[in-house]
Chains A and B, each alone.
Chain A
Amino acid sequence: MQLRKTIRLISSFYQSFLLFSLLITACCISIFWKYGFSSFITIFWFKIASLGLTYYFVNSYRRKTYYYYFNLGLSKTLLWTATLVFDFTLFLLLIIFTYKIR
């Protein structure tokens, strides 16, 4: 029950930058589809940079909402670790999938 609640809260936090992140991932996939494995290093760092930008944006403009999660027992470290690991894993899985079907 507690795990379900934690996952629900983390996904709620993830939704605050989900659209931007999916857009970046879609761009990366389309570049990878067009230019193949030679573009991997570039899109890899592009994705990393976008995640850095997301972190900066949320810390600058959405930091007030951290208190919602603090009051529910979720730390900043947990929120960011879970969402960034999930987002980057999704990105890698989609790259592998694209590589296989290309």
Chain B
Amino acid sequence: MHTLEADSIQLEFSGRKILSSVYLKCETGKITGLLGRNGEGKTCLMNIIYGSLACEKSVRFDNVSQKLAFNHPDLLLYLPQFNFIPRRLSLKRIFKDFELDYTAFEQLFPEFASKYNTTIGNLSGGEFRLVELYLIIKTPSQFAMLDEPFTYLSPVQIEKVKELLLETKTQKGLLITDHLYQQVTGISDSLYVLANGITHFTQSMDDIETLGYARI
């Protein structure tokens, strides 16, 4: 079992404190949800953990400090909230790069059956997102962070992705943030709400309302 912990994070932009008292822990076998209103710093926090946003921090994998996790895909993979795959690459090429079996993907999502040679830029927004999500979930690593994984996906696709996440968590710790909070809370084993620069570990759904994120 592996652990990922982040704390002692201090982030401010133009004198405005974004993150000041953060503690977050992910473990193999668990899906950790992160909720928060727009501008609370969820994406910044993920970028800080990933190492692509520099600031004062302590990020530890199995108690070993790692400042630039993005140089270690065996430790951490990251699905940013934007499309990150170069648009001119074909699905054939992408699956070859990630050393993943396209047939297994095709079986799970039959709508991709005839698209093996299609360039990813020619797919719809939902299909594009689904490919990115699948790569990050299926590529071996200790942890994966998913920023808005359900955006652009249809309800059927969301259900399949959730099944995939539940299946994957036995080998990989997952950190997820998305405004479709019911989807996040539905699969999360532990849940944090980020409010006023502080992470609050929630014990019940009522906490989400108390912290001002959603009306349950």
Contacts and interface: CB of A to CB of B under 8 A. Distances in A.
List of 7 A-B pairs having minimum Cβ-Cβ separation, nearest first = A67-B84, A70-B70, A73-B73, A65-B86, A68-B84, A64-B82, A71-B77
**Interface centre among A65, A68, A73, by most B CB within 10 Å?**
A68
B71 A68 contact: no
Interface in B82-116: 82-86, 88-89, 93, 97-98
Q: Is the interface of B mostly helix, strand, loop or mixed?
A: loop
A64 B78 CA distance: 12
Nearest to B72: A73
B44 interface: no
A86 B77 CA distance: 29
B102 to A, nearest CB: 17
B97 A72 contact: yes
Secondary structure type dominating chain A contacts: helix
A15 B88 CA distance: 10
Given A12-B86, A72-B97, A67 B73 contact: no
A66 B80 CA distance: 11
A34 interface: no
A64 B84 contact: yes
Interface in B42-58: 52
Contact of A70 (B78, B83, B139): B78
Interface in A74-96: 75
Interface string B2-40: 000000000000000000000000000000000000000
B136 interface: yes
B198 interface: no
Interface string A46-75: 000000000000000000111110111101
A68 B78 contact: no
Interface in A10-62: 12, 15-16
24 contacts: A5-B97, A8-B97, A12-B93, A15-B88, A16-B86, A64-B80, A64-B82, A66-B84, A67-B78, A68-B86, A70-B52, A70-B73, A71-B73, A71-B78, A71-B84, A71-B98, A71-B136, A71-B139, A72-B98, A73-B71, A73-B72, A73-B73, A73-B74, A75-B70
